[in-house]
Amino acid sequence: MTSGLAFRSEVMRRVRARASAKVNLQLSVGPRGEDGYHPLVTVFQAVSLYETVTAEVRDDALITLRVVAGPEFPGDIGGVPLDDTNLAWRAAEAVRNEFGVSDGIDLSILKGVPVAGGMAGGSADAAAALVACSEAWHCGATREDLHRLAAALGADVPFALLGHTAVGLGRGDELSPAMTRGEFHWVFAMQREGLSTPEVFARFDDQVAAGQRAPDAPHVDTEVMGALMAGDAAWLGRALSNDLQDAALSLAPRLHGVMETMYDADALGVVVSGSGPTIAALAGSAQHALSIATRVRAAGVADVVLTASGPATGTVILEG
């Protein structure tokens, strides 16, 4: 951390940064600990759906936030908070406190990732805001500074900074890049009504308490890692797994129909993304992904259907 003396930016500056959504290729959940958290092992892949945050320095100490829906944004942005409960706002405050900045900032979020969809859109906002604010305020933040601030904001935020494909341990924030080959093509079936991550974990705990599942100490799946290293989409499709999937499906039974439709369209693998309700299907090619998407749209089982590819980049500066 820099000196506790507050400083003012010498040059008023506007910076725009972009961060990717993610899909969990593996999400293994251990039993809840005494601290209330579950040990996780997850394999993340960043995909080409994006959140874009613009940060413009103010000459006062205020932080403001506005949110705009992107052209293909699924759902209503009315539920996105515009105050200090928003992760992007909290990211700006974290940077300001860390580096003793006295200036304010105007934040604008262009959303392209579903809200409460299990694809870490809010975490992407936080990552993009960390980078945009630190650049706009000329903080000189290092990669290590940003990772530390990201980990304090949420378990998925460090990966949104890193991007590409990575293994996450602990709460998912202890990251190691994963070796991959080639490009993977995805179809995401999204619902306008989200699922609450705490509710999904609570249902998972209920299933454990009822003896419906016995969580083991999570470990990295060698099948997932082998498929990534080989660039073998069919192998990866067979290896996709999510320990929260049964809990999400029990809270939103309509998602069964989405998964069945994707399998009927010959998807290589289908999995609930994170805590849901977004369903991810792995395709064999970009054309195959378009075919699956067409079948899902025709079946009317999802509100929005998008295609994307991965691995995508981590947080990048687009302007400034």
Would you name the residues annotated as active-site residues? 22, 156
Beta pairing, strands 63-69 & 104-111: parallel
The token pair at 11 is: 């040059």
DSSP string, 278-312: -EEEEESSHHHHHHHHHHHHHHT--SEEEEEEESP
Question: Hey, which bits of the chain come out as E strands?
Answer: 14-29, 40-58, 63-69, 104-111, 165-169, 174-177, 184-190, 241-242, 269-272, 279-283, 304-310, 316-319
Exposure on the CB side of residue 126, measured as CA atoms within 13 A: 28
Report helix angle 143-153 to 121-136, nearest 10: 140
DSSP classification of residue 218: P
Q: What is d(CA 169, CA 236) in angstroms, rounded to the nearest whole number?
A: 20
Q: Do residues 71 and 29 lie in contact, with contact meaning Cβ atoms separated by under 8 Å?
A: no
Question: Which residue carries 């995508």 as its tokens?
Answer: 312
Q: What is d(CA 236, CA 245) in angstroms, rounded to the nearest whole number?
A: 17
User: Which is nearest to 250 in space by CA: 296, 284, 215, 199?
Assistant: 199
Question: Which residue carries 């994006």 as its tokens?
Answer: 50
